[in-house]
Chain A
Amino acid sequence: MTNLQEDSSTEQVDRKAAARFVPGQPDMWVFVLFESLLFTGYFSVYLIGRIQNRDLYLQSQADLDLRFGVFNTIVLLLSSWAIARCVQASREGAYRDALRDAFLTIGFGVAFLVSKVLEWVKEIRLGNTFTSNEFFQHFFFLTSIHLLHLLIGFIVLGVAVYQLWSPARRSQQLVETCATYWHTVDFLWALIFALLYVVR
Protein backbone atom coordinates (compact mmCIF):
# COMPACT_ATOMS: atom_id res chain seq x y z
CA MET A 1 0.00 0.00 0.00
CA THR A 2 2.70 2.52 0.83
CA ASN A 3 4.17 2.45 -2.65
CA LEU A 4 1.04 3.84 -4.29
CA GLN A 5 1.36 7.53 -5.06
CA GLU A 6 0.27 9.95 -2.41
CA ASP A 7 0.78 13.13 -4.46
CA SER A 8 -1.04 16.16 -3.20
CA SER A 9 -3.76 16.63 -5.75
CA THR A 10 -3.14 20.37 -5.92
CA GLU A 11 -0.12 19.50 -8.01
CA GLN A 12 -2.50 17.57 -10.21
CA VAL A 13 -4.20 20.81 -11.20
CA ASP A 14 -1.00 21.96 -12.84
CA ARG A 15 -0.20 18.78 -14.65
CA LYS A 16 -3.70 17.96 -15.88
CA ALA A 17 -4.45 14.35 -16.74
CA ALA A 18 -0.80 13.53 -17.33
CA ALA A 19 -0.13 12.80 -13.67
CA ARG A 20 -1.84 9.92 -11.94
CA PHE A 21 -2.88 10.02 -8.33
CA VAL A 22 -4.67 7.79 -5.91
CA PRO A 23 -7.85 9.56 -4.78
CA GLY A 24 -7.63 9.91 -1.03
CA GLN A 25 -5.65 7.65 1.24
CA PRO A 26 -4.78 4.32 -0.37
CA ASP A 27 -5.84 2.87 2.98
CA MET A 28 -9.45 3.75 2.35
CA TRP A 29 -9.28 1.81 -0.93
CA VAL A 30 -8.33 -1.29 1.06
CA PHE A 31 -11.54 -0.78 3.00
CA VAL A 32 -13.59 -0.20 -0.16
CA LEU A 33 -12.36 -3.37 -1.83
CA PHE A 34 -12.67 -5.50 1.29
CA GLU A 35 -16.16 -4.26 2.10
CA SER A 36 -17.28 -4.87 -1.48
CA LEU A 37 -16.15 -8.46 -1.18
CA LEU A 38 -17.95 -8.83 2.10
CA PHE A 39 -21.19 -7.52 0.64
CA THR A 40 -20.71 -9.73 -2.40
CA GLY A 41 -20.64 -12.63 0.05
CA TYR A 42 -23.93 -11.48 1.57
CA PHE A 43 -25.43 -11.03 -1.90
CA SER A 44 -24.34 -14.50 -2.99
CA VAL A 45 -25.97 -16.04 0.07
CA TYR A 46 -29.14 -14.11 -0.77
CA LEU A 47 -29.15 -15.23 -4.40
CA ILE A 48 -28.62 -18.87 -3.51
CA GLY A 49 -31.40 -18.63 -0.95
CA ARG A 50 -33.60 -17.02 -3.55
CA ILE A 51 -33.15 -19.81 -6.04
CA GLN A 52 -34.09 -22.46 -3.50
CA ASN A 53 -37.33 -20.70 -2.80
CA ARG A 54 -38.31 -18.74 -5.87
CA ASP A 55 -42.02 -18.55 -5.24
CA LEU A 56 -41.71 -17.34 -1.69
CA TYR A 57 -39.23 -14.65 -2.69
CA LEU A 58 -41.30 -13.51 -5.67
CA GLN A 59 -44.42 -13.32 -3.60
CA SER A 60 -42.71 -11.36 -0.82
CA GLN A 61 -40.97 -9.11 -3.28
CA ALA A 62 -44.36 -8.03 -4.57
CA ASP A 63 -44.83 -6.19 -1.27
CA LEU A 64 -41.89 -3.96 -2.05
CA ASP A 65 -42.54 -0.61 -3.64
CA LEU A 66 -40.25 -0.07 -6.61
CA ARG A 67 -40.81 3.67 -6.35
CA PHE A 68 -39.06 3.78 -2.98
CA GLY A 69 -36.16 1.85 -4.44
CA VAL A 70 -35.81 4.10 -7.47
CA PHE A 71 -36.14 7.26 -5.38
CA ASN A 72 -33.49 6.04 -2.95
CA THR A 73 -31.12 5.14 -5.75
CA ILE A 74 -31.50 8.48 -7.50
CA VAL A 75 -31.09 10.38 -4.24
CA LEU A 76 -27.92 8.53 -3.40
CA LEU A 77 -26.59 9.10 -6.93
CA LEU A 78 -27.27 12.80 -6.40
CA SER A 79 -25.34 12.67 -3.15
CA SER A 80 -22.39 11.01 -4.89
CA TRP A 81 -22.52 13.65 -7.57
CA ALA A 82 -22.49 16.35 -4.89
CA ILE A 83 -19.48 14.97 -3.05
CA ALA A 84 -17.61 14.47 -6.34
CA ARG A 85 -18.22 18.14 -7.13
CA CYS A 86 -17.07 18.98 -3.63
CA VAL A 87 -13.75 17.23 -4.21
CA GLN A 88 -13.25 19.10 -7.50
CA ALA A 89 -14.09 22.43 -5.93
CA SER A 90 -11.81 21.83 -3.00
CA ARG A 91 -9.00 20.85 -5.35
CA GLU A 92 -9.29 24.21 -7.07
CA GLY A 93 -9.42 26.09 -3.81
CA ALA A 94 -13.11 27.01 -4.15
CA TYR A 95 -13.80 26.15 -0.54
CA ARG A 96 -17.14 27.87 -0.20
CA ASP A 97 -18.46 25.88 -3.13
CA ALA A 98 -16.91 22.75 -1.70
CA LEU A 99 -18.61 23.30 1.64
CA ARG A 100 -21.91 23.91 -0.07
CA ASP A 101 -21.54 20.66 -2.00
CA ALA A 102 -20.60 18.79 1.17
CA PHE A 103 -23.74 20.04 2.89
CA LEU A 104 -25.77 19.06 -0.18
CA THR A 105 -24.35 15.57 0.11
CA ILE A 106 -25.42 15.38 3.73
CA GLY A 107 -28.85 16.68 2.75
CA PHE A 108 -29.32 13.97 0.15
CA GLY A 109 -28.10 11.42 2.66
CA VAL A 110 -30.74 12.58 5.12
CA ALA A 111 -33.37 12.30 2.40
CA PHE A 112 -32.31 8.70 1.85
CA LEU A 113 -32.48 8.03 5.59
CA VAL A 114 -35.98 9.47 5.94
CA SER A 115 -37.21 7.62 2.87
CA LYS A 116 -35.73 4.36 4.15
CA VAL A 117 -37.42 4.69 7.52
CA LEU A 118 -40.74 5.48 5.86
CA GLU A 119 -40.36 2.44 3.68
CA TRP A 120 -39.62 0.21 6.64
CA VAL A 121 -42.66 1.53 8.48
CA LYS A 122 -44.74 0.78 5.43
CA GLU A 123 -43.45 -2.78 5.19
CA ILE A 124 -43.96 -3.38 8.89
CA ARG A 125 -47.53 -2.11 8.60
CA LEU A 126 -48.05 -4.66 5.85
CA GLY A 127 -46.93 -7.29 8.33
CA ASN A 128 -43.47 -7.82 6.91
CA THR A 129 -40.78 -7.81 9.55
CA PHE A 130 -37.25 -9.17 9.90
CA THR A 131 -38.59 -12.49 11.07
CA SER A 132 -41.49 -12.82 8.64
CA ASN A 133 -39.81 -14.98 6.07
CA GLU A 134 -36.49 -15.58 4.35
CA PHE A 135 -36.89 -12.81 1.81
CA PHE A 136 -37.62 -10.22 4.44
CA GLN A 137 -34.73 -11.48 6.56
CA HIS A 138 -32.46 -10.57 3.69
CA PHE A 139 -34.32 -7.37 2.91
CA PHE A 140 -34.11 -5.97 6.41
CA PHE A 141 -30.60 -7.25 6.93
CA LEU A 142 -29.16 -5.75 3.76
CA THR A 143 -30.99 -2.46 4.10
CA SER A 144 -30.04 -2.18 7.79
CA ILE A 145 -26.41 -2.88 7.34
CA HIS A 146 -26.35 -0.49 4.43
CA LEU A 147 -28.06 2.15 6.54
CA LEU A 148 -25.44 1.62 9.22
CA HIS A 149 -22.80 2.40 6.60
CA LEU A 150 -24.76 5.50 5.69
CA LEU A 151 -24.88 6.65 9.29
CA ILE A 152 -21.14 6.15 9.58
CA GLY A 153 -21.01 8.11 6.32
CA PHE A 154 -22.52 11.10 8.11
CA ILE A 155 -19.62 11.01 10.56
CA VAL A 156 -17.21 10.75 7.63
CA LEU A 157 -18.88 13.70 5.87
CA GLY A 158 -18.64 15.55 9.15
CA VAL A 159 -14.89 15.03 9.03
CA ALA A 160 -14.86 16.41 5.48
CA VAL A 161 -16.85 19.48 6.49
CA TYR A 162 -14.57 20.00 9.48
CA GLN A 163 -11.55 19.90 7.17
CA LEU A 164 -13.04 22.28 4.61
CA TRP A 165 -14.24 24.76 7.21
CA SER A 166 -10.99 26.31 8.36
CA PRO A 167 -7.96 27.34 6.29
CA ALA A 168 -5.78 25.79 9.01
CA ARG A 169 -6.89 22.32 7.88
CA ARG A 170 -8.26 21.60 4.40
CA SER A 171 -6.34 18.41 3.73
CA GLN A 172 -7.25 17.51 0.17
CA GLN A 173 -6.31 13.91 0.78
CA LEU A 174 -8.65 13.63 3.73
CA VAL A 175 -11.54 15.19 1.80
CA GLU A 176 -10.93 12.73 -1.04
CA THR A 177 -10.77 9.87 1.46
CA CYS A 178 -14.16 10.86 2.87
CA ALA A 179 -15.57 11.10 -0.64
CA THR A 180 -14.27 7.63 -1.48
CA TYR A 181 -16.12 6.24 1.53
CA TRP A 182 -19.33 7.97 0.56
CA HIS A 183 -19.20 6.69 -3.02
CA THR A 184 -18.89 3.19 -1.61
CA VAL A 185 -22.15 3.66 0.25
CA ASP A 186 -23.66 4.71 -3.06
CA PHE A 187 -22.46 1.83 -5.20
CA LEU A 188 -23.31 -0.73 -2.54
CA TRP A 189 -26.86 0.59 -2.65
CA ALA A 190 -26.88 0.30 -6.46
CA LEU A 191 -26.20 -3.41 -6.03
CA ILE A 192 -28.66 -3.86 -3.17
CA PHE A 193 -31.42 -2.12 -5.13
CA ALA A 194 -30.86 -4.35 -8.15
CA LEU A 195 -30.84 -7.51 -6.05
CA LEU A 196 -33.75 -6.82 -3.73
CA TYR A 197 -36.13 -4.89 -5.97
CA VAL A 198 -35.38 -5.74 -9.57
CA VAL A 199 -34.03 -9.26 -9.75
CA ARG A 200 -36.74 -11.80 -10.53
Chain B
Amino acid sequence: MSTRAGSPVGRFLWNFRNHPKRELWFAWWVMVIFYQLYGVLFFLVTRVQPPASPAWDTPMVVQWFNDRHFGLLAGFGVVFLISGLCAPMNALLAYSMRRMSVSRVFGYSYLIMYSLSAIPGMFVMAIAMTVGALRPDRDSELIHWLFDFAFLSFSGTMGVFMIGSLVWLVAILIDKNGVFPKWFGYLGLCNALTEVVVAPAWIFQRGVFAWNGAIAWWINMVVFVTYTVCFIVLLRKMIEREDFGTGPLPDLPPKAERSQPDSVGSMQ
Protein backbone atom coordinates (compact mmCIF):
# COMPACT_ATOMS: atom_id res chain seq x y z
CA MET B 1 0.00 0.00 0.00
CA SER B 2 2.74 2.44 0.82
CA THR B 3 4.34 2.04 -2.59
CA ARG B 4 1.19 3.31 -4.32
CA ALA B 5 0.67 6.49 -2.41
CA GLY B 6 3.41 9.07 -2.80
CA SER B 7 5.10 10.22 -5.98
CA PRO B 8 3.06 11.22 -9.04
CA VAL B 9 5.20 8.92 -11.15
CA GLY B 10 4.48 6.01 -8.85
CA ARG B 11 0.76 6.75 -8.96
CA PHE B 12 0.79 7.09 -12.74
CA LEU B 13 2.58 3.77 -13.15
CA TRP B 14 0.14 2.02 -10.87
CA ASN B 15 -2.81 3.48 -12.79
CA PHE B 16 -1.19 2.55 -16.08
CA ARG B 17 -1.01 -1.04 -15.02
CA ASN B 18 -4.16 -1.49 -12.97
CA HIS B 19 -6.77 1.17 -13.50
CA PRO B 20 -9.95 -0.39 -15.00
CA LYS B 21 -10.66 2.75 -17.00
CA ARG B 22 -7.15 3.18 -18.38
CA GLU B 23 -8.14 2.44 -21.97
CA LEU B 24 -10.95 4.99 -21.76
CA TRP B 25 -8.67 7.64 -20.36
CA PHE B 26 -6.04 6.80 -22.95
CA ALA B 27 -8.60 7.26 -25.74
CA TRP B 28 -9.76 10.53 -24.19
CA TRP B 29 -6.25 11.94 -23.98
CA VAL B 30 -5.53 10.81 -27.54
CA MET B 31 -8.61 12.72 -28.60
CA VAL B 32 -7.53 15.89 -26.81
CA ILE B 33 -4.02 15.66 -28.22
CA PHE B 34 -5.33 14.91 -31.69
CA TYR B 35 -7.56 17.98 -31.76
CA GLN B 36 -4.79 20.22 -30.45
CA LEU B 37 -2.41 18.90 -33.08
CA TYR B 38 -5.01 19.16 -35.80
CA GLY B 39 -5.65 22.77 -34.89
CA VAL B 40 -1.99 23.67 -34.75
CA LEU B 41 -1.15 21.84 -37.98
CA PHE B 42 -4.05 23.12 -40.06
CA PHE B 43 -4.16 26.68 -38.74
CA LEU B 44 -0.60 27.52 -37.80
CA VAL B 45 1.84 25.25 -39.59
CA THR B 46 0.25 24.61 -42.96
CA ARG B 47 -2.05 27.65 -42.69
CA VAL B 48 -4.67 26.10 -44.91
CA GLN B 49 -7.30 27.29 -42.48
CA PRO B 50 -8.91 29.83 -42.48
CA PRO B 51 -9.40 28.83 -46.09
CA ALA B 52 -8.15 30.79 -49.05
CA SER B 53 -10.64 32.20 -51.52
CA PRO B 54 -12.12 30.28 -54.45
CA ALA B 55 -12.35 33.57 -56.29
CA TRP B 56 -8.61 33.98 -56.73
CA ASP B 57 -6.93 33.79 -60.09
CA THR B 58 -4.17 31.37 -60.85
CA PRO B 59 -1.15 33.62 -60.10
CA MET B 60 -2.55 34.35 -56.63
CA VAL B 61 -3.06 30.67 -55.96
CA VAL B 62 0.53 29.88 -57.00
CA GLN B 63 1.70 32.67 -54.71
CA TRP B 64 -0.32 31.15 -51.86
CA PHE B 65 1.41 27.81 -52.38
CA ASN B 66 4.82 29.47 -52.52
CA ASP B 67 4.20 31.36 -49.28
CA ARG B 68 3.39 28.10 -47.56
CA HIS B 69 5.79 25.78 -49.29
CA PHE B 70 7.66 24.47 -46.30
CA GLY B 71 4.69 24.65 -43.92
CA LEU B 72 2.56 22.53 -46.23
CA LEU B 73 5.13 19.81 -46.66
CA ALA B 74 6.20 19.65 -43.03
CA GLY B 75 2.74 20.14 -41.54
CA PHE B 76 0.99 17.57 -43.67
CA GLY B 77 3.92 15.23 -43.27
CA VAL B 78 3.11 15.25 -39.56
CA VAL B 79 -0.60 14.84 -40.33
CA PHE B 80 0.15 11.67 -42.28
CA LEU B 81 2.09 10.37 -39.30
CA ILE B 82 -0.50 11.11 -36.64
CA SER B 83 -3.59 10.27 -38.62
CA GLY B 84 -3.94 6.99 -36.77
CA LEU B 85 -4.82 8.96 -33.63
CA CYS B 86 -8.33 9.21 -35.01
CA ALA B 87 -8.98 5.59 -34.23
CA PRO B 88 -9.07 5.65 -30.41
CA MET B 89 -11.07 8.84 -30.62
CA ASN B 90 -13.78 7.33 -32.82
CA ALA B 91 -13.72 4.20 -30.70
CA LEU B 92 -14.44 6.24 -27.57
CA LEU B 93 -17.42 7.86 -29.19
CA ALA B 94 -18.74 4.54 -30.39
CA TYR B 95 -18.16 3.19 -26.89
CA SER B 96 -20.37 5.93 -25.51
CA MET B 97 -23.17 4.63 -27.71
CA ARG B 98 -22.54 1.10 -26.59
CA ARG B 99 -23.03 2.22 -23.00
CA MET B 100 -26.42 3.65 -23.95
CA SER B 101 -29.63 1.66 -23.85
CA VAL B 102 -29.93 1.92 -27.63
CA SER B 103 -29.23 -0.70 -30.25
CA ARG B 104 -25.60 -1.40 -31.07
CA VAL B 105 -26.35 -0.49 -34.64
CA PHE B 106 -25.86 3.14 -33.67
CA GLY B 107 -22.33 2.61 -32.41
CA TYR B 108 -21.30 0.47 -35.34
CA SER B 109 -22.75 2.83 -37.96
CA TYR B 110 -21.03 5.75 -36.35
CA LEU B 111 -17.72 3.91 -36.26
CA ILE B 112 -17.87 3.02 -39.93
CA MET B 113 -18.93 6.49 -41.00
CA TYR B 114 -16.27 8.26 -39.04
CA SER B 115 -13.56 5.87 -40.10
CA LEU B 116 -14.32 6.89 -43.64
CA SER B 117 -14.61 10.53 -42.71
CA ALA B 118 -10.88 10.90 -42.20
CA ILE B 119 -10.51 10.67 -45.96
CA PRO B 120 -12.26 13.87 -46.96
CA GLY B 121 -11.77 15.46 -43.58
CA MET B 122 -8.03 15.20 -43.56
CA PHE B 123 -6.33 12.99 -46.12
CA VAL B 124 -7.51 14.34 -49.43
CA MET B 125 -6.55 17.87 -48.48
CA ALA B 126 -3.22 16.70 -47.10
CA ILE B 127 -2.41 14.74 -50.24
CA ALA B 128 -3.55 17.40 -52.69
CA MET B 129 -1.68 20.13 -50.87
CA THR B 130 1.56 18.22 -50.55
CA VAL B 131 1.39 17.25 -54.21
CA GLY B 132 0.85 20.90 -55.04
CA ALA B 133 3.71 22.06 -52.87
CA LEU B 134 6.16 19.38 -53.92
CA ARG B 135 7.08 20.87 -57.29
CA PRO B 136 6.64 24.66 -57.25
CA ASP B 137 7.61 24.86 -60.91
CA ARG B 138 4.68 22.69 -61.99
CA ASP B 139 2.18 24.07 -64.49
CA SER B 140 0.22 26.76 -62.61
CA GLU B 141 -3.13 25.51 -63.93
CA LEU B 142 -2.43 22.15 -62.32
CA ILE B 143 -1.59 23.86 -59.07
CA HIS B 144 -4.88 25.73 -59.20
CA TRP B 145 -6.65 22.43 -59.87
CA LEU B 146 -5.07 20.88 -56.79
CA PHE B 147 -6.07 23.94 -54.77
CA ASP B 148 -9.73 23.59 -55.77
CA PHE B 149 -9.64 19.83 -55.27
CA ALA B 150 -8.23 20.19 -51.75
CA PHE B 151 -10.60 22.86 -50.53
CA LEU B 152 -13.74 21.49 -52.10
CA SER B 153 -13.15 18.02 -50.72
CA PHE B 154 -12.36 19.43 -47.29
CA SER B 155 -15.29 21.84 -46.99
CA GLY B 156 -17.86 20.37 -49.28
CA THR B 157 -18.03 16.80 -48.08
CA MET B 158 -19.88 17.44 -44.90
CA GLY B 159 -22.37 14.70 -45.57
CA VAL B 160 -20.52 12.07 -43.60
CA PHE B 161 -20.11 14.29 -40.58
CA MET B 162 -23.70 15.37 -40.75
CA ILE B 163 -25.07 11.85 -40.85
CA GLY B 164 -22.64 10.82 -38.12
CA SER B 165 -23.86 13.69 -35.94
CA LEU B 166 -27.45 12.66 -36.57
CA VAL B 167 -26.76 9.05 -35.60
CA TRP B 168 -25.16 10.18 -32.37
CA LEU B 169 -27.84 12.71 -31.53
CA VAL B 170 -30.71 10.29 -32.14
CA ALA B 171 -28.95 7.77 -29.91
CA ILE B 172 -28.55 10.40 -27.19
CA LEU B 173 -32.18 11.47 -27.36
CA ILE B 174 -33.63 7.98 -27.10
CA ASP B 175 -31.05 6.72 -24.61
CA LYS B 176 -32.48 5.78 -21.24
CA ASN B 177 -29.15 5.45 -19.49
CA GLY B 178 -28.48 9.17 -19.42
CA VAL B 179 -24.96 8.85 -20.80
CA PHE B 180 -25.16 12.35 -22.22
CA PRO B 181 -27.45 15.21 -21.24
CA LYS B 182 -30.24 15.85 -23.71
CA TRP B 183 -29.04 19.36 -24.46
CA PHE B 184 -25.99 17.87 -26.10
CA GLY B 185 -28.27 15.87 -28.38
CA TYR B 186 -30.01 19.10 -29.37
CA LEU B 187 -26.65 20.81 -29.87
CA GLY B 188 -25.80 17.96 -32.22
CA LEU B 189 -28.83 18.98 -34.24
CA CYS B 190 -27.44 22.51 -34.50
CA ASN B 191 -24.13 21.05 -35.59
CA ALA B 192 -25.71 18.79 -38.19
CA LEU B 193 -27.70 21.70 -39.59
CA THR B 194 -24.65 23.89 -39.94
CA GLU B 195 -23.04 21.09 -41.88
CA VAL B 196 -25.93 21.26 -44.31
CA VAL B 197 -25.20 24.95 -44.64
CA VAL B 198 -21.76 24.22 -46.06
CA ALA B 199 -23.27 22.40 -49.04
CA PRO B 200 -23.66 25.53 -51.22
CA ALA B 201 -19.85 25.79 -51.24
CA TRP B 202 -20.02 23.55 -54.29
CA ILE B 203 -21.87 26.23 -56.22
CA PHE B 204 -20.35 29.55 -55.26
CA GLN B 205 -16.93 30.96 -55.99
CA ARG B 206 -17.50 34.08 -54.00
CA GLY B 207 -19.80 35.47 -51.37
CA VAL B 208 -20.99 34.18 -48.03
CA PHE B 209 -21.63 30.65 -49.28
CA ALA B 210 -18.25 30.06 -50.85
CA TRP B 211 -15.98 27.62 -49.07
CA ASN B 212 -14.40 30.55 -47.20
CA GLY B 213 -17.63 32.48 -46.75
CA ALA B 214 -18.98 34.12 -43.61
CA ILE B 215 -21.80 31.62 -43.43
CA ALA B 216 -20.26 28.51 -44.95
CA TRP B 217 -17.04 28.71 -42.98
CA TRP B 218 -16.81 31.29 -40.21
CA ILE B 219 -20.16 30.84 -38.49
CA ASN B 220 -19.91 27.11 -39.15
CA MET B 221 -16.55 26.98 -37.41
CA VAL B 222 -17.93 28.68 -34.29
CA VAL B 223 -20.64 26.03 -33.99
CA PHE B 224 -18.24 23.20 -34.70
CA VAL B 225 -15.69 24.34 -32.12
CA THR B 226 -18.43 24.80 -29.49
CA TYR B 227 -19.76 21.32 -30.25
CA THR B 228 -16.29 19.77 -30.09
CA VAL B 229 -15.38 21.42 -26.79
CA CYS B 230 -18.70 20.23 -25.35
CA PHE B 231 -18.23 16.64 -26.34
CA ILE B 232 -14.66 16.52 -25.10
CA VAL B 233 -15.86 17.72 -21.68
CA LEU B 234 -18.89 15.41 -21.70
CA LEU B 235 -16.84 12.38 -22.66
CA ARG B 236 -14.58 13.11 -19.73
CA LYS B 237 -17.61 13.21 -17.45
CA MET B 238 -18.86 9.97 -18.96
CA ILE B 239 -15.61 8.23 -18.18
CA GLU B 240 -15.67 9.56 -14.64
CA ARG B 241 -19.21 8.27 -14.18
CA GLU B 242 -18.66 4.93 -15.89
CA ASP B 243 -19.58 1.97 -13.78
CA PHE B 244 -19.26 -0.70 -16.51
CA GLY B 245 -22.88 -1.68 -15.99
CA THR B 246 -25.75 -1.70 -18.44
CA GLY B 247 -28.23 0.41 -16.53
CA PRO B 248 -28.47 4.16 -16.13
CA LEU B 249 -25.10 5.79 -15.76
CA PRO B 250 -24.84 7.10 -12.21
CA ASP B 251 -24.27 10.78 -11.63
CA LEU B 252 -21.05 11.92 -10.06
CA PRO B 253 -21.21 12.51 -6.31
CA PRO B 254 -21.17 16.22 -5.35
CA LYS B 255 -17.76 17.91 -5.53
CA ALA B 256 -17.13 17.85 -1.77
CA GLU B 257 -17.12 14.08 -1.71
CA ARG B 258 -14.82 13.57 -4.61
CA SER B 259 -11.42 15.20 -4.40
CA GLN B 260 -9.73 12.88 -6.86
CA PRO B 261 -12.32 11.09 -8.96
CA ASP B 262 -10.10 8.59 -10.66
CA SER B 263 -6.98 8.41 -8.63
CA VAL B 264 -5.63 5.42 -6.81
CA GLY B 265 -7.41 6.32 -3.58
CA SER B 266 -10.90 6.03 -5.01
CA MET B 267 -10.35 2.56 -6.34
CA GLN B 268 -9.64 1.06 -2.91
A contact residues vs B (CB 8 Å cutoff): 1-2, 25-28, 30-31, 34-35, 38, 41-42, 45, 49, 130-131, 134, 137-138, 141, 145, 148-149, 152
Provide a sorted-by-A list of 26 A–B residue pairs whose CB atoms are within 8 angstroms. A27-B185, A28-B186, A30-B187, A31-B187, A31-B189, A34-B190, A38-B190, A38-B223, A41-B215, A41-B222, A45-B208, A45-B214, A45-B219, A49-B208, A130-B203, A131-B203, A134-B207, A137-B207, A137-B208, A141-B209, A145-B193, A145-B197, A148-B193, A148-B196, A149-B193, A152-B189
Inter-subunit contact B208/A35 (CB<8 Å): no
Closest Cβ of chain B to A33, distance in Å, is: 10
Q: B183 in the interface, Cβ–Cβ < 8 Å? A: yes
Collect the chain B residues with CB atoms within 8 Å of residue A149's CB: 193
- Taking a contact as CB atoms closer than 8 A, the residue among A31, A38, A141, A152 that contacts B183 in the complex is A31
Q: Across the interface, which residues of A come within 8 angstroms of B59, CB to CB? A: none
Count A/B pairs, Cβ under 8 Å: 60
Task: Report the Cα distance A42→B190, complex, angstroms.
Answer: 14
B interface size (C-beta, 8 A): 23
Chain A's nearest CB lies how many Å from the CB of B126? 30
B187 proximity list for chain A (CB < 8 A): 30-31, 34
Interface residue? B181 (CB, 8 A): yes
Question: Shortest distance in angstroms between A152's beta carbon and chain B's nearest beta carbon?
Answer: 7
Q: Nearest Cβ distance between residue A128 and chain B, in whole angstroms?
A: 15
Can you name 8 extra interface pairs (CB under 8 A) apart from A130-B203, A131-B203, A131-B204?
Answer: A2-B181, A25-B183, A27-B181, A31-B186, A34-B187, A38-B194, A141-B215, A148-B193
Residues from chain A with Cβ under 8 Å of B190 in the complex: 31, 34-35, 38
In contact, A30 and B186 (Cβ under 8 angstroms): yes
CB distance from A171 to the nearest CB of B (A): 13
Complex interface: chain A residues within 8 A of B207 (CB): 134, 137
Does the CB pair A38–B219 fall under 8 Å?
A: yes
A41 to B226, CA, bound (A): 15
CB A143 to nearest CB in B, in angstroms, measures 13
B215 near A42: Cβ-Cβ < 8 Å? yes
> How far does the alpha carbon of A134 sit from the alpha carbon of B204 in the complex, in Å?
11
Instruction: Name the B residues within 8 Å of A27 (CB-CB).
Output: 181-183, 185-186
Which residues of chain B have a CB within 8 Å of any CB of chain A? Answer: 181-183, 185-187, 189-190, 193-194, 196-197, 200, 203-204, 207-209, 214-215, 219, 222-223
Bound form: Cα–Cα A42–B213 in Å = 12
**C-alpha spacing A134/B182, complex, angstroms:** 37
Q: How far is the CA of A27 from the CA of B188 in the complex (A)?
A: 12
CA distance A122 to B266 in the complex (A): 67
| A25 cross-chain contacts in B, Cβ below 8 A | 182-183
Contact B186 A42 (CB under 8 A): no
Q: How far is the CB of B222 from chain A (nearest CB, A)?
A: 8
Q: How far is the CA of A188 from the CA of B143 in the complex (A)?
A: 43
Q: Which residues from chain B contact A152 at a C-beta distance below 8 Å?
A: 189
Q: Are B181 and A1 in contact (CB under 8 A)?
A: yes
Q: How far is the CB of A35 from chain B (nearest CB, A)?
A: 6
Q: Which 4 A-B pairs have the closest CB atoms?
A: A31-B186, A27-B183, A27-B182, A30-B183
Docked Cα-Cα span, A13 to B252, in Å, equals 33
- Do A130 and B194 have beta carbons less than 8 Å apart? no
Which residues of chain B are within 8 angstroms of A34 by Cβ–Cβ distance? 187, 190
- Pick from A27, A28, A134 the residue with the most CB of B within 10 Å: A27
Q: In the bound complex, how far is the Cα of B172 from the Cα of A31, in angstroms? A: 14
The answer on a CB contact under 8 Å between B203 and A45 is no
Residues of A within 8 A of B181 (CB): 1-2, 27
CB-CB nearest in chain A for B226 = A34
Tell me the smallest distance from the CB of A189 to a CB of chain B, in Å. Answer: 16
CA of A149 to CA of B62 in the docked complex: distance in angstroms?
42
Report A-chain residues with C-beta under 8 Å of the C-beta of B194. Answer: 38
The docked-state distance in angstroms from the alpha carbon of A152 to that of B173 is 14
Residue of B nearest to A1 (CB): B183
Q: Which residues of chain B have C-beta atoms less than 8 A from A148's C-beta?
A: 193, 196
